[in-house]
Structure 1
Amino acid sequence: MSFKLGVTRFAATTPSRRISCRISPPFSTVATLKICSSRRNYSSEDVAPAPPLLAKLKGDLKAAMKAKDKARLVVLRSVLAATLNASKTAQPIDTDAKLVALLRKTARTSQDAASEFKEAGRTDLVEKEQEQIQILEAYAQEGAGESASSEEVTAAVEAVMSELKAANASVRAGDVIKRLLAPGGPLDGKDFNKAEMAKIVKKLCA
């Protein structure tokens, strides 16, 4: 009798502990809520759309695999691997202009390789490189933006230099080139010879 009475008194004196056990969520629920609240809410707007030409290359890769087009497969896999590597750096290939520059650089590398193979008498390898060069140049031509003539590049350089002088800013070659190639700049997205542009800038800034 005394034992039952003791148990009853103990239960009566600890109501808050019993109630809290009933309403407190399990640990797993609390942990899940904390993790979810700490995560950033991503949306499709956080990811920049791929350049149109890059999307085309990815689509053409699937088509080349079905058609077993070896030369095109080699080109596309090489270029797409380069864009993937670039995406992990501070200079991703995020515009058609940058992708066209990569295609042309790859074509020059293939041209150098073809010259070496020719000297070595490997005409079979020369033909493979030439075939890949044609594919690279075709994609580069397709993705190239509006062409800018030498006169237009010179006019753009002079305009940027005038803007910098009006703002009492330094007119150095590096600053001018940054303005020219910046997003929305006078040469942004246009197809032109960058080496020639650099020569024009240096000449006018001298």
Structure 2
Amino acid sequence: MASRLSVSRFAAAKPSRLVLQNTSSPFAAGAASRFCASRRLYSSDDAPPAPPLLAKLKGDLKAAMKAKDKARLTVLRSVLAATLNASKTAQPIDTDAKLVALLRKTARTSQDAATEFKDAGRADLAEKEQEQIQILEAYAQEGAGESLSLEDVKAAAETVLSELKAAGGSVRAGDVIKQLLAPGGPLDGKDFNKAEMAQIVKKLTA
């Protein structure tokens, strides 16, 4: 007579057979169906494709590990960790434009650190930061979309403002900016200075 331990081991080792044997029951069949449906729902096949630049960064991480490129490894690990953290929030890094913004923000942080190291007499650490800045800026340049001048941004803002006014009602700066940056909008995926864009819109709507 088999011991209870043997039976429990068998059950743990052969879950698929037990499920198949019990599916003759309507309840079990329904449970199995719901389980399969849930697996399809959360399948990785349904996940949206990663931005091209993000896919490149992941590939370059492997190459940097093989080459033992410490500066590039530091940059890539930091940026990829930031994108992973963002994926768990309501504002994931799901476009190249967002990733470029992250790269530039990281470069500014490194520039501030380099200045502090230089002022403290740590030229060696400042040099490391500068090396990382060059890598960050190179990736940002590669992933940036069409570059727009201030005149281009102003023209786009004026067009959107005119359209919103034609639709009736008062128009606020936030309404114009939202329309400019909306998916498929005039500035979507473009490379420009957002701070300067905001100033232009505020002047136009003042």
Counterparts of 1:24 and 1:119 in 2: how far apart (Å)? 72
**SS in structure 1 at match of 2:40:** coil
| Mapping for residues 1-206 of structure 1, pairs under 5 Å | 25=24, 29-30=28-29, 32-33=31-32, 35-36=34-35, 39=38, 41-42=40-41, 46-206=46-206
How many residues in Structure 1 have an aligned counterpart in Structure 2?
184
Report the equivalent of 1:11.
none
Q: Which amino acid aligns with 2:61?
A: L
TM-score when normalising by structure 1: 0.83
Could you report, residue by residue, the CA deviation over 1:18-64 in whole angstroms, capped at 9, with x for unpaired residues?
xxxxx993599447425426626336673211110000000000000
- Shift, 1:171, TM fit: 1.0
Q: Highest Rg: 1 or 2?
A: 1
Structure 1: tracts of 5 or more residues without a match: 1-22
Paired with 1:54 and 1:199, the residues of 2 have a C-alpha distance of 30
- For normalisation by structure 2, the TM-score amounts to 0.83
Query: For each residue in 1:148-202, what CA deviation from the matched residue of structure 2 results, as whole angstroms up to 9, or x when unmatched?
Result: 1111100000000011111114310111101000100000000001111010000
**Corresponding residue for residue 6 of structure 1:** none
- For each residue in 1:120-145, what CA deviation from the matched residue of structure 2 results, as whole angstroms up to 9, or x when unmatched? 00011001000000000000000010
Q: What amino acid does structure 1 have at the position aligned with 2:175?
A: D
Partner-residue secondary structure (3-state), 1:186 = coil
CA gap of 1:46–1:34, structure 2 versus 1, over 3 A, is: closer
SS at match of 1:48: coil
Over 3 Å counting, the alpha-carbon distance change for 1:176 and 1:59 in structure 2 is same
Please tell me whether the aligned partners of residues 23 and 32 of structure 2 are also in contact (alpha carbons under 8 angstroms). Answer: no
Seq. identity, %: 79
- Name the Cα RMSD after superposition: 2.1
